[in-house]
Amino acid sequence: MSVRVAFASRSSRVGMALCAVALVVLAAAPFWGGRDDMQLLSQIYAYVALASLWNLLAGYAGLVSVGQQAYVGLGAYLLFAFAILGGVSPLWAIPLAGIIAALVAIPVAGLVFRLRGHYFAIGTWIIAEVFRLLASQVSVLGGGSGTSLPASMVVGIASTRQMRESLVYWIALALVVAVLTLIVLLLRSRYGLALKAIRDSELAATTNGIDVLRTKVLVYIVTAFGTAMIGALIFFQRLRISPDAAFSVNDWTAFVIFITVIGGIGRIEGPIIGTIVFFALRQTLADLGTIYLLMLGVVAILVMLTAPKGIWGLIVERFGWQIFPLERTVILDDRSAGREKQRPDDR
Amino acid sequence: MTDWINVILQGVLVGGLYAMFAAGLSLIFGVMRLVNIAHGDLIVLAAYVALVTTEALGIGPLVSLIIVVPLMAVIGYALQRLILNRTLGEDLLPPLLVTFGLSVIIQNGLLALFTADSRKLQAGDIEVATFKLLEGVYIGILPLLQFAVAIAVIAALQFVFYRTALGRAFRATADSPPVAQLMGLDNRHVFGLAMALSLAVVAIAGVFLAIRADFDPSIGPARLIFGFEAVIIGGLGSMWGTFAGGIVLGVAQAIGAHINPGWQILAGHIAFLIILAVRPEGLFPRIRA
């Protein structure tokens, strides 16, 4: 009798097939959509990526950060610094920003990981504030009032305007696919199994030889890497940066948290569903301004109190679906009986 | 020389206000291990409640405390019983996310009601009254009063916590909620009272904040951060440590501002990060986080 672990299930095979179809359709957007469609889709990709990364941090590693705007802003400022001071093409500056942000995240983790649980959350916020205040002291990048990306830098990436817009759109799509793939691979690796064990019981995980702190720091650094690249991309599209916009707690943390909570925290599908709901609501309620944010807060609190697993959690409870092949299923090949026995692992 | 004496003195006196921001935060963390992310926004809410009270009744801001303090305490009790009690448990996520949501709701609610304009409470002549301490060193009556109130608040909290039946209930629930319950305490009610007390302190802090400087709906998070920094600098679980933490933060900010106005807040954050790096348990710790 042999034992193996399978990730895919029938629903995930269907889900992956649908994702592949969606990806082809979305990749062709420059051929079927207008500029507005492409801009809206790019924004959606950015939020799916940011929310997925925050979900990895808070939902899987239990590290509730309210300071991820630190890395959005850092990535964005690095892109501008590379372009303005170093003349580096924005296309190269995006991965470079990610790598540098990951390096910066190492000493930052050394500080904020001294704070436990709730206090960790506020510690991350202070780090973001420090980054914002430091950015407003950098006078070559416009200080407190910010600066714009030189036109030559933008024109340099492609000859025609249409090509540029398509290129930036494809980069956004490629980045969100890369972020989701990275998260799926991480969760399927032994680190993913370790995260699951830590989530169930830190003590039990430790006694099974898992280095809890190291695993969490790894997730924190991976998240900083992804978040900074998305931040760089967002502000490359905006062409203008200022400390208040780049390190905005509302734009890069409040929205991201609400998206994840409403969609379903601790499941990879949650942030995707949440982002779709968020943009659907925004397209209809955008005129309400501050009231929209207020309502979003109310909805998020209601979801947290009544259905803490969010929309996708309810779907999973009802139908047991998973889109991404993540759930580990132990399969016993019982040769003598000639049939497969399956035991889905307990969540 | 007198220049620096002035800077340090101003820092110490502002530190009293930061200690008041911190005291309410420290109290509820001590009792129910909850960090209230909406704490700063509740301080700003108290400032607006005082604004409405003074304008509606034509009374001074200090007199308005008679109304603002009990009102905020009732809001605190209701908040705890209706919402926050449901979030407490093993999982850290619900209380953090719910208080974060509350923070956004309060901020945007105030923005919708009062716009983003800066407001200030007018306390009259006392605002500018000073007395001479040394040649060239003057102390404002209002900052001094604020500092004295901060000492009184900390002393009162210390007294309640260690000398009264309510304080015994707080400490018992903090040590072990199930055992406290077995001894006949209603934890939900005890937590409600703790939040009421926390928001009573928030009310005092909010009124002094609003007399001292301009305020608008967006300044709450920074007050939460100042209070939090004071708690960590001072050391968890020690009320007088928190008071000292507030003063360290106030002095650090005053020194930063004196060197370069743009460095005021940054200097406070850096002082906090240095303490976190070299002495993460804080200056006067009682319990470990």
**A324 membership: H or E segment, kind and range:** none
Q: How confident is the model at residue A110 (pLDDT cuts 50, 70, 90)?
A: very high
The whole-angstrom distance between B288's CA and the closest CA on chain A is: 10
* Per-residue pLDDT at A80 exceeds 60: yes
Percent of chain B's residues with pLDDT above 90:
69
Distance CA B15, CA B229 (A): 11
Question: In terms of residues, how long is chain A?
Answer: 347
Q: For residue B268, which amino acid is it?
A: G
* Cα distances (Å, whole numbers) of residue A78 to A95, A100, A131, A218: 10, 8, 12, 22
Q: Write down the pLDDT at residue A338.
A: 46
Instruction: Estimate the crossing angle of helix A35-55 against helix A269-285, to 10 degrees.
Output: 140
Nearest to A270 by CA among A13, A56, A3: A56
Which residues contact residue A98 at a Cβ distance below 8 angstroms, ignoring those fewer than 6 apart? Answer: A75, A225, A226, A228, A229, A232
* Per-residue pLDDT at A341 exceeds 60: no
Q: From chain B, which residues contact A within 8 Å (Cβ)?
A: 29, 33-35, 37, 83, 86-87, 92-98, 100-102, 104-105, 108-109, 111-112, 221-222, 224-225, 228-229, 232, 262, 265-266, 269-270, 272-273, 276-277, 280, 289
Q: What is the pLDDT of residues B206-265, one digit of tens each?
A: 999 999 889 999 999 999 999 999 999 998 878 899 999 999 999 999 999 999 988 999
Which residues contact residue A231 at a Cβ distance below 8 angstroms, ignoring those fewer than 6 apart? Answer: A71, A72, A73, A74, A75, A76, A97, A246, A252
Provide, as residue numbers in chain A, all residues whose Cβ is less than 8 Å from the Cβ of B276.
111, 114-115, 123
Angle value at C-alpha A120, between A118 and A125, nearest 5 degrees: 110
* Cα distances (Å, whole numbers) of residue B36 to A115, A181, B92, B232: 15, 35, 12, 15
Q: Write down the pLDDT at residue A20.
A: 87
The whole-angstrom distance between A7's CA and the closest CA on chain B is: 27
What's the ipTM?
0.89
Provide, as residue numbers in chain B, all residues whose Cβ is less than 8 Å from the Cβ of A290.
108, 111-112
Across the range A195-221, mean pLDDT stands at 89
Helices (H) and strands (E) in chain B, counts: 11, 2
Q: What is the mean pLDDT of chain A?
A: 88
Most A CBs within 10 A among B91, B96, B275, hence the mutation to make, goes to: B96
Q: For residue A314, which amino acid is it?
A: L
Angle value at C-alpha A325, between A302 and A99, nearest 5 degrees: 80
Q: What is the pLDDT of residues A227-276, one digit of tens each?
A: 999 999 999 999 999 999 999 998 899 899 999 999 999 899 999 999 99
Q: Write down the pLDDT at residue B289.
A: 39
SS3 assignment for A248-279: CHHHHHHHHHHHHHHHCCCCCHHHHHHHHHHH
Q: Write down the pLDDT at residue A119.
A: 85
Q: For residue A337, which amino acid is it?
A: A
Q: Write down the pLDDT at residue A73.
A: 97
- One-character DSSP codes across A77-115: HHHHHIIIII---HHHHHHHHHHHHHHHHHHHHHHHTTS
Q: For residue A307, which amino acid is it?
A: A
Instruction: Give the CA diameter of chain A.
Output: 75
**Inter-chain contact B35–A118, Cβ cutoff 8 Å?**
yes
**Inter-chain contact B35–A119, Cβ cutoff 8 Å?**
yes
| Chain A residue with minimum CA distance to B32 | A118
Percent of chain A's residues with pLDDT above 90:
44
Q: Write down the pLDDT at residue A335.
A: 58
The whole-angstrom distance between B200's CA and the closest CA on chain A is: 23
Across the range A268-292, mean pLDDT stands at 86
* Per-residue pLDDT at A334 exceeds 70: no
The whole-angstrom distance between A36's CA and the closest CA on chain B is: 29
Distance CA A144, CA A155 (A): 27
Instruction: Give the number of beta-carbon pairs within 8 Å between A and B.
Output: 119
Which residues contact residue A161 at a Cβ distance below 8 angstroms, ignoring those fewer than 6 apart? Answer: none
Q: Phi-psi bin for B136: left (phi > 0), alpha (psi -120 to 50), beta?
A: left
**Contact, A137 vs B262, CB < 8 A?**
yes
Q: What is the pLDDT of residues B150-171, one digit of tens each?
A: 999 999 999 999 999 999 999 9
Across the range A287-295, mean pLDDT stands at 80
Can you give the residue ranges of every domain in chain A? 27-282
Q: Write down the pLDDT at residue A347.
A: 43
Q: What is the pLDDT of residues A90-101, one digit of tens each?
A: 889 999 999 999
Q: What is the pLDDT of residues A151-191, one digit of tens each?
A: 877 777 777 888 888 898 999 999 999 999 999 999 989 88
DSSP A7: -
Distance CA B196, CA B73 (A): 4
A293 touches chain B (CB under 8 A): yes
Which residues contact residue A71 at a Cβ distance below 8 angstroms, ignoring those fewer than 6 apart? Answer: A101, A105, A223, A224, A227, A228, A231
Q: What is the pLDDT of residues B270-284, one digit of tens each?
A: 999 999 888 888 888
Provide, as residue numbers in chain A, all residues whose Cβ is less than 8 Å from the Cβ of B94.
304-305, 308
* Per-residue pLDDT at B288 exceeds 50: no
A38 touches chain B (CB under 8 A): no
Q: What is the mean pLDDT of chain B?
A: 91
Q: What is the pLDDT of residues B106-137, one digit of tens each?
A: 999 999 999 999 999 888 888 888 888 888 88
Q: What is the pLDDT of residues A122-148, one digit of tens each?
A: 899 999 999 999 999 988 898 888 999
Q: Write down the pLDDT at residue B133.
A: 80
A126 touches chain B (CB under 8 A): yes
Q: What is the pLDDT of residues B16-29, one digit of tens each?
A: 999 999 999 999 98
Provide, as residue numbers in chain B, all residues whose Cβ is less than 8 Å from the Cβ of A66.
37, 96, 100
DSSP A147: E
Provide, as residue numbers in chain B, all residues whose Cβ is less than 8 Å from the Cβ of A305.
83, 86-87, 94, 98
Q: Write down the pLDDT at residue B264.
A: 92
Q: Can you tell me which residue has the tokens 């015994």? A: B168
| Chain A residue with minimum CA distance to B100 | A254
The CATH class that applies to domain B2-278 reads: mainly alpha
What do you get for the CA distance between the two ends of chain A, in Å?
25
Percent of chain A's residues with pLDDT above 70:
95
B3-34 burial code (b ≥16 CB/10 A, e <16): eeebbbbbbbbbbbbbbbbbbbbbbbbbbbeb
